[in-house]
Structures are given as structure tokens and as C-alpha cells.
A and B are shown apart, each in its own frame.
Chain A
């Protein structure tokens, strides 16, 4: 009982802190208080940091999807549907979720580590004494970078996964890439693609909220920063799945 109420308090407190961080950062963004140079710098960092691992994961998951659907497609003889089914799963769910998870592990963890290091070295206090709100100054550009870049990178990764799928289909079941791509293009998957991208705006915001909040709250030296990074990826993953389910039910 005591444990449950403790856990509930922690969840409520953390959610509240994330809400406050998001609200402050987003109002700072709307008012144009986030420096343009800061935001551009964060966009560059976030993309350069995450892109290699995202590309790799997209390639691998594209191949795996083809490998795993191959026997099913062959037994049904449904070669013309292979591209469509592949595109459906990739564009609507697997692409956005996998990209968001790896983005959280890379860009989110980095943000928490970075802000945590600033917290334990007193740089956040230094900002406050200069009358600069750390949330507006540090979190707002990171929110912008993540909310803008996650959808763009998801779109890119969708394309890479589809490319990998086309190559994989040719190798694994001997289906011509043109047929595979045609099946995707004529499958009427534009809605799935757009809905898949739409949810990544929410994922990006959630990852930014989680990573910034956990970074700002770091106490107790390097050990505290390590714990915060761990908490950041775990809570980000939970947030991605919860948001995805709610979004899916809300729009379909």
C-alpha cells in the first residue's frame, strides 16, 4: 500500500514536472525567446548524433520484415500484396515506434546527460542568477529540434526501410523491386504515412519533455547523472508506447 502510493506520488510528480517544463519551453518558443542559433545548433547535434544508428536500424528492420513475411507470402502466393503489407506495417507503426525508441536512446539520453552535467556543475544556478530561465534558454531549443527533426528523420527512415524491403524482396523471394514499390505506391498508404508522421511530433515532444525534465533534476554528481540517463530512456519508451496507443485509437 505504502509502496503503491509512493509510486503513484512519483508518477504524478514526474508527470507534473514534465508538464511544467513543456509548458514553459513551448511558451518560450511561441514568444520567440529561443535563440535561433541555439535551435539550429541543437538541430545539427540531434541529427548528426542519431542519424547513423537510425539508418542502420531502418535497414535491418526492413530486411527482417521481408524475411519474416516471405514464407507467408509464398504460401498464399500473395506476391502482389507483399509491398503493400510491408508498407502498411512500416509506415503506420514499426517505423515511427522504432525510430522514436532509438531517438530516445540517442538524442534523449544525450540531452539528459548534458543538462545533468550542467546541473551538477552549477551552470543552471548560474543561469538563474543572471535572470535567465534555464527552461527557456536550454529546453526550448531542444524541444524545437526534437519536434522538428524526429518527423523528418522518421520520413527518411521510412524511405530507407522501404528501399531495404525492395532489395530484400528481390533477394529473398525474387520479387522485382519495381513490383514491390508499385504495390506500395498503389496501396493507398498515404494516410498511413501521414498518420505515422503525425504521431512522431508527439513522440518528439514527449522525448524532449522527458529528457529535459530528467536532466534538470539531476542531483548528486556523476552517479546521479547516470541514473537520470537510465530513467530518461525508460520513461521515454513508456511515453512512446502510451502515446502511440492513444493516438492510434483516437485517429483510426
Chain B
């Protein structure tokens, strides 16, 4: 992310806990996401990453603790406030579906037109501008079925960026993609901070450590519902020397002290 001169707290997570039955999925998680940073939330499947992200935009609520987004308590927001929040903090779920009856351009323009932020012509040029930031302008008039996997994923991210959010939350953006598509999506994510996209804060949930180490400004490593490390990529690398679990996760090794159970995805 482009270093911002006035770094501020975008999202403040304070002592958040959540249980499903007897299972404690999140246990007193505290961390802060700063503006102008790309923070990657990593950890093995089932560690509560996705759950925590859904809480940021009010799709899930914590049992205990609170989440402040731009200083406002998410759990106490009413429907209108939540809609306003989701305008500022765009959440892209694991499998964001494109509208298959609309062209790629119309998919991106839809939220702008529906919320009457722009008229159709202006929304269309916004869509083309966003597409051209990532060299996809020639896809604008194609249907989602006519473009490849990685382009579909990128278009779904661009659609979430259409209304000009300040913060972008990507939940496992490369789930279900093959290796070349994964690379394409990660290089797009890297560019979000470099091009004029308007995104100030980027939060990415991932378990792909290679791209995480390359792109992240900061890494939050969640393990068994608690924040085990909250540091820079260099700091994480240092931590692996003393933490065998982090080391195993970074190496992506199947055997080690960390017993990954049933795969979440």
C-alpha cells in the first residue's frame, strides 16, 4: 500500500469472542487495521478468519467484545447504518457470483446505478475506468461466462470497488482457482495499492503464504481462535525461528506440530 502520511485506525477489534455450541471459534481476539496498509489475516482452515471478516461488515456478530469501524460500534448499527458501512467497507466473499445476465461492465456499474450515485453513462465509464486500471477494458462488453476464472474474480472485486469504498475486505480471494489464476488475482491485489483505486485500507484473508509475504504490510496470524502473531512480514519470518507452528504454516508442510483438521473450504 502506498504509505499514507496520516495513518489512522480504520478498524479496531477489541476482545472479540464467538462460540458455536461448545466450540470456541474466536477467543478474545484484539487487533487493529490501519489505513494505508495491506493487512493479511492468515491461519489454518477453521481458525476463524472468515468469521472475523464477516463481523467487520455486520454479517456475523461477536458474543463478546466489540468491533469499531471508523470509530463506530458495528453490532449496534441499524439496517441503514449497516448499508452505509458496507458502502465504505466493501466485503468480497469467498465465492462472489457475477450476475450472469449482465455484461462485465454492467456488473460493475450496477451498484452505482442502483444507489443512484451516477447515471448509467457515468457508471459505465466508471466501470471501464476501473477495468482499464487492470488492463481489462476490452472485457467490458462480454458476459461473465465469456471471460476466464481469474478475470471473473477480478471483476467481482472491481464491482465491490465501484461505489468508492475506503476499505476493501477480501475473504480468501483465490479459493477454488488454479495456480495461474491465483497468480493473476494476487498480482491484481498487489496493484490495488499502486493504482488510483481509492482503496486506503486493504484486508485480505489468505492461506497462501508466498503471496502474503510478498504483498502484505502486516500479517495477523490467527491460530485456534487467538492472535498468535501480529507483525510485519519480516517480523513473521523472525517469529518462525522460535515458533514451530508458524514455521510449519509458512512452509506449508503437512506434518508438524499443527494438526489441521477438516478443511474449511
A contacting B, Cβ–Cβ less than 8 Å? yes
How far in angstroms is the closest Cβ of chain A from B44? 25
B91 within 8 A of A: yes
B93 near A125 with CB under 8 A, answer yes
Which residues from 109 to 133 on chain A have a C-beta closer than 8 Å to any C-beta of chain B? 118, 121-123, 125-127, 129-132
A35 within 8 A of B: yes
A131 near B86 with CB under 8 A, answer yes
A130 near B97 with CB under 8 A, answer no
A121 near B97 with CB under 8 A, answer yes
A35 near B99 with CB under 8 A, answer no
A1-B233 Cα distance, complex, nearest whole Å: 64
| CB closest residue in chain B, given A136 | B114
Residues of B within 8 A of A118 (CB): 97, 99
Interface of B, secondary structure class, is: mixed
B113 near A129 with CB under 8 A, answer no
A129-B111 Cα distance, complex, nearest whole Å: 10
The residue among B86, B98, B99, B114 with the most chain A CB atoms within 10 A of its own CB is B114
A126 near B114 with CB under 8 A, answer no
Interface residues on chain B, number (Cβ under 8 Å): 22
B95 near A131 with CB under 8 A, answer no
Q: Using A131-B83, A131-B86, A131-B87 as known contacts, say yes or no to A126 and B111 having CB atoms under 8 A apart.
A: no
Residues of B within 8 A of A129 (CB): 57, 86, 91-93, 96, 160
**Which residue from A122, A131, A132, A137 sits with its C-beta under 8 Å from B96?**
A122
Residues of B within 8 A of A121 (CB): 97, 100
The residue among A125, A126, A137 with the most chain B CB atoms within 10 A of its own CB is A126
Which residues from 87 to 110 on chain B have a C-beta closer than 8 Å to any C-beta of chain A? 87, 91-93, 95-100, 110
A122 near B95 with CB under 8 A, answer yes
Map CB proximity to B onto A148-184 as digits: 1 under 8 Å, 0 otherwise: 0000000000000000000000000000000000000
B97 near A132 with CB under 8 A, answer no
B98 near A126 with CB under 8 A, answer yes
Which residues from 25 to 46 on chain A have a C-beta closer than 8 Å to any C-beta of chain B? 35
A132 near B98 with CB under 8 A, answer no
A132-B115 Cα distance, complex, nearest whole Å: 8
How far in angstroms is the closest Cβ of chain B from A130? 4
Residues of A within 8 A of B115 (CB): 131-132
B111 near A123 with CB under 8 A, answer no
B66 within 8 A of A: no
B159 within 8 A of A: yes
A131-B113 Cα distance, complex, nearest whole Å: 12
Map CB proximity to A onto B112-128 as digits: 1 under 8 Å, 0 otherwise: 01110000000000000
A123-B96 Cα distance, complex, nearest whole Å: 8
Residues of B within 8 A of A35 (CB): 113-114
Residues of B within 8 A of A132 (CB): 110-111, 114-115
A137-B93 Cα distance, complex, nearest whole Å: 20
Known: A125-B93, A130-B110, A131-B86. 8 other contacts (CB 8 A): A123-B97, A126-B96, A129-B57, A129-B92, A129-B93, A130-B86, A130-B163, A131-B83
**Can you pick out 20 interface pairs between chain A and chain B where the beta carbons lie within 8 Å of each other?**
A35-B114, A118-B99, A121-B97, A122-B95, A122-B96, A122-B97, A123-B100, A125-B93, A125-B97, A126-B97, A126-B98, A126-B99, A129-B91, A129-B96, A130-B163, A131-B86, A131-B87, A131-B111, A131-B163, A132-B115
Closest 6 CB pairs of A and B: A122-B97, A123-B97, A130-B111, A131-B83, A126-B97, A121-B97
